[in-house]
Amino acid sequence: MTDNSAGEFHAMIAASPAGSGRSVGGAWHVHGVVLPEEQPRDLWIDDGRVVEGPVAGARELDRHCWVLPGFVDAHCHIGLGPQGAVSIGDARQQARTDRDAGTLLVRDAGSPIDTHLFDNEPDLPRLIRAGRHIARPRRYLRGFAVEIEPEQLIDEVDRQARRSDGWVKLVGDWIDRGTGDLAPLWEPAIAARAIGRAHELGCRVTAHCFGEQSVAELVGAGIDCIEHGTGVSPAVIDEMARRQVAMVPTLVNIENFPAIADSGQARYPRYAQHMRKLYHGHLDRMRAAREAGVPLYAGTDAGGTIHHGRIGDEIVALGQLGDAQFALGAASWRSRGWLGAPGLGVGESADLVIFDADPRPDLRVCRRPCAVMLRGRLRSR
């Protein structure tokens, strides 16, 4: 697309009813390259869904553009702030910020508040919840997790599974103040029984893991996904690839490891040194995981101390691990398939992100979609 045609497309969006900042439904005709395809095609949208076209009276957005199935933030926390739970109003604003950045599906990887009422608000992203983080007392950030003793783990997994949307989130490791370093929270045998119970209930299990030991033990215990995964060894990578255990590396969060290490240096020097080591090798380990066939997906870890709306930054960061097609798929069509969410086939919900330039030559384009469409309603940036 030339600069002039890009400007014309922006003008077209601005001139549409959505240019007022409102979301506008009805019938739409979008003509563009729908990634990962290579050639332009027509998308006809009516009553919130992709339909066979043409559709009489559809509003035209038929200049060349680039379209992706709505972005997925596969590690996000709607309802979580630096001190723990936030108000429903603040959580709603977090979800809106993610939506406006193009994130139309969120796997909420642990929240201390119940956001099920958002399911009835069609202007908010779709949520797939993992209940609350499950941790041991004083072994995670204060106010984030439900804290229980190991003998209570299976019952708590049962409880969180029933309030979730098919996921359970464990805290796999955190600093042990007695040893002054990262250490697992759960013995492998009890973790395996808890994961088994979640599977009996039809849920998948994921875990926060920074260090080497926790990820190795939890993969061995049958877990379905690892968050962060900075301590994966070659042997664990091979086992994850064999079992197709997914990983969501949250690269924008890992950039905080040096500052985390600095903050713990005086009191926990072993921990600080360990965090720096994990940081300095993380890109090589993530590249090795991708090359081995471990499924990797995009997640920002928004909530807590990470600002919402940073899916574009995570996509750019994922470009360090592979080509643009890998990074975009990790945040869009591949992630949707992993989570059982629709793409842009006929009959599926019209959830899409629109760009006036091809994001593949320069992933930074992903930071500023010119429009998003959620449930068939167009909203300009």
Residues facing residue 30 across a β-bridge: 43, 61
For residues 345-358, average pLDDT? 96
Query: What is the rounded CA–CA span in Å between residue 222 and residue 199?
Result: 10
**Which of 290, 300, 360 is CA-nearest to residue 321?**
290
Distance (Å, whole) CA 380 – CA 360: 21
pLDDT of 52 above 60: yes
Is the preceding peptide bond at 36 cis, omega within 30 degrees of 0?
Answer: yes
pTM above 0.85, yes or no: yes
Average pLDDT for 220-237: 98
Q: How far from the centroid of its chain's Cα atoms is residue 17's Cα? A: 30
Instruction: State the Cα–Cα distance between residues 134 and 155, nearest whole angstrom.
Output: 11
Contact of 80 with 303, CB cutoff 8 Å: yes
Q: What's the distance, CA 234 to chain centroid?
A: 25
Short-list 106, 105, 101, CA closest to 355: 101
Q: How far apart are CA 203 and CA 201, in angstroms?
A: 6
pLDDT tens per residue, range 157-209: 999 999 999 999 999 999 999 999 999 999 999 999 999 999 999 999 999 99
- What's the mean pLDDT in 38-62? 93
Q: Output the CA torsion sign for 98, 305, 325, 231.
A: negative
pLDDT class of 24 with cuts at 50, 70, 90: confident
pLDDT digits (tens, 9 = 90+) for 242-269: 999 999 999 999 999 999 999 999 999 9
Looking at residue 380, what is its pLDDT? Answer: 80
Nearest to 170 by CA among 126, 128, 225: 225
What is the reported pLDDT for 2? 41
pLDDT (mean) for 76-80:
98
